Amino acid sequence: MDRDHELSAVLADDTRYHIYRWIAEQPGTDVTVADVAGEFGLHPNVARMHLAKLEQAGFLDTGFRRAPGGGRPAKLYRLSDKVVTFGFPPRRYELLSRLALDALSAGGTRDDALRVCREAGVAEGRRALSGDAGPPRDRAAVSVLVAQIAEEHGLLPEVAWQDGSLRVVVNNCSFRELSGADPDLVCAMHRAFLAGIIQVATASLGTLSIAPDDCRISCGGDRCELLCTFASGEE
């Protein structure tokens, strides 16, 4: 069985997929067999089997916690630091991102990089709308579209209207591994890309403005938040 086939087979089980997603939504947190069994209503032996398969495929890392007063240590599971990717047809977004950063370090400007990223987001938004008459005018449909596109990019999003603004929460930074050298720049590039997507998806609501926010995964936060307002003031 080739690697892509193995990975897809591991996540093909619906329960196992939801266990993995639940762990992925809380990166850096250790969970036990008992935690998983309680969360999903499983017998501990079944929970242990699912966790073992995720560990074997490289989706999870493990460790041990000593029990108070001795005894058998508890096995802990957490999201793997190793990025596990697969897809058909293959994509190499990490290479593309690294090339973009290399181009910047060789003399490109920050403004140029952000412009390119926003234009790429606009193109992605238009791709998502292909076949439709245009962006949705209904606010509920807008939030569904934004969530759908963000989900396709692996961002594990939460999207909802809040006091007339569209709140987009990103629980997974797909640029996380590239942000170490310059988190401010990488985060700005990613936000510019997302702004381009949101600009297209919300075009019927007015001129988009995204409030600055200090909650950023690239700088140690557990999520990123984008609060989007629209100049038209439509409800």
Which structural domain, as residue segments, surrounds residue 24?
A: 3-79
CATH of residue 225's domain is: 3.30.1380.20
Per residue in 183-223, pLDDT (tens digit) is 787 788 888 889 999 999 999 999 999 987 766 777 777 88
Number of domains the chain contains? 2
Residues 163 and 109 in one domain: yes
Per residue in 52-102, pLDDT (tens digit) is 999 998 899 999 887 666 677 889 999 987 766 666 656 666 666 766 777
Residues 32 and 114 in one domain: no
CATH of residue 14's domain is: 1.10.10.10
Distance CA 27, CA 103 (A): 31
Residues 42 and 67 in one domain: yes
The residues near 210 (Cβ < 8 Å, ≥ 6 apart) are 191, 195, 198, 226, 227, 228, 229
Reference 142, options 152, 153, 129; nearest CA is 129
Residues 102 and 56 in one domain: no
- DSSP strands (E only) in 42-84: 60-65, 74-79
Residues 20 and 105 in one domain: no
Distance CA 34, CA 44 (A): 6
Reference 65, options 54, 57, 55, 76; nearest CA is 76
Instruction: Enter the pTM of the model.
Output: 0.64
Burial zone of 39 (CB within 10 Å; 0-12 exposed, 13-18 middle, 19+ buried): middle
What is residue 160's predicted lDDT score, i.e. its pLDDT?
95
Where residue 79 falls (left for φ over 0; alpha for ψ -120 to 50; beta otherwise) is: beta
Residue 88 inside a domain? The answer is no
Q: In terms of C-beta distances under 8 Å and separation of at least 24 residues, what long-range contacts does 224-227 make, across chains too?
A: 224/169, 224/170, 224/173, 224/187, 224/191, 225/167, 225/168, 225/169, 225/170, 226/167, 226/168, 226/170, 226/191, 226/194, 226/195, 226/198, 227/162, 227/165, 227/166, 227/167, 227/168
Max Cα distance, the chain (Å): 66
Residues 174 and 122 in one domain: yes
Length of the chain: 235
* pLDDT average, residue stretch 96-113: 73
Residues 72 and 128 in one domain: no
Distance CA 118, CA 197 (A): 8
